[in-house]
Amino acid sequence: MTLLFIVLAPLVREVDISEFQFGILISAANVTLLISAPYWGSRSQTLGRKPVFVIGMAGYAISYTLIAFAMQSGLWGWLVPWMLFVVLLVGRLFFGLVAAGIQPAATAYFADITDATTRSKGMAQIGVAAGIGTIIGPMIGGTLAMVSALFPMYAAAGFAALITVAAYALLQEPAQHTKRPNPGKLRFFDTRIFPYLLGWCMLILVFTAIQVVTAFYLEDRFDFTGRQELTWATTIAFLSMGAATVLVQLVVLQLFRIPPKTLLRAGFLLYGLALLLLAFAPSPLILYCAYALLGGGFGLMTPGLNAAASISVEEPEQGDVAGLLTAAPVLGMIIGPLLGPRLYEFNMIYPMLLGAAIMIAMGIYYQFVKVPDPLRDP
Q: Residue 64 belongs to what domain range?
A: 3-170
Q: Per-residue pLDDT for 212 more than 80?
A: no
For position 378, what pLDDT does the model report? Answer: 47
Flag whether pLDDT at 315 surpasses 70.
yes
Assigned domain for 185 exists: no
Q: Give the domain-ending residue among 154, 170, 186.
A: 170
Contact 300, 164 (CB under 8 A): no
Q: What is the mean pLDDT of residues 146-150?
A: 83
CATH number for the domain including 214?
A: 1.20.1250.20
Does some domain include residue 255?
Answer: yes
> C-alpha angle 308/310/312, rounded to 5°?
70
Lowest mean pLDDT segment, chosen from 146-150, 179-183, 265-269: 179-183
Clarify whether residues 135 and 71 are in a common domain: yes
DSSP string covering 285-339: HHHHHHHHHHHHHHHHHHHHHHHHHHHTS-GGGHHHHHHHHHHHHHHHHHHHHHH
User: Does residue 223 sit in the same domain as residue 93?
Assistant: no
Residues 117 and 227 in one domain: no
Model-wide pTM > 0.95: no
Mean pLDDT of 158-183: 81
Output 227 or 172, whichever has higher pLDDT: 172
Asked if 115 and 255 sit in the same domain, the reply is: no
- pLDDT of res. 94: 94
DSSP-derived letter for residue 17 is -
pLDDT at 197 over 80: yes
Please tell me whether residues 218 and 345 are part of one structural domain: yes
Q: Are residues 353 and 289 in the same domain?
A: yes
Both 200 and 94 in one domain: the answer is no
Average pLDDT of the residues in 302-328: 82
Across residues 224-237, what is the average pLDDT? Answer: 70
pLDDT of residue 183: 53
- CA 2 distance to own-chain centroid: 11
Q: Which helix (H) or strand (E) holds 49?
A: helix 49-76
Task: Say if residue 129 is in the same domain as residue 260.
Answer: no
Domain edge (last residue) among 136, 170, 204: 170
94, 211: one domain: no
The whole-number pLDDT of residue 88 equals: 92
Q: Give backbone dihedrals phi and psi of 294, rounded to 5 degrees, phi first.
A: -60, -45
Residue 227 within any structural domain of the chain: yes
88 and 235 share one domain: no
pLDDT tens digits for 105-124?
988 888 888 877 777 777 77
Q: Tell whether 283 and 364 lie within a shared domain.
A: yes
Q: What is the pLDDT of residue 184?
A: 56
Tell me: do 111 and 252 sit in the same domain: no
**Number of structural domains the chain divides into:** 2
Residues 302 and 296: their CA atoms lie apart, in Å, by 11
Mapped onto helix, strand or coil, the DSSP state of residue 147 is: coil
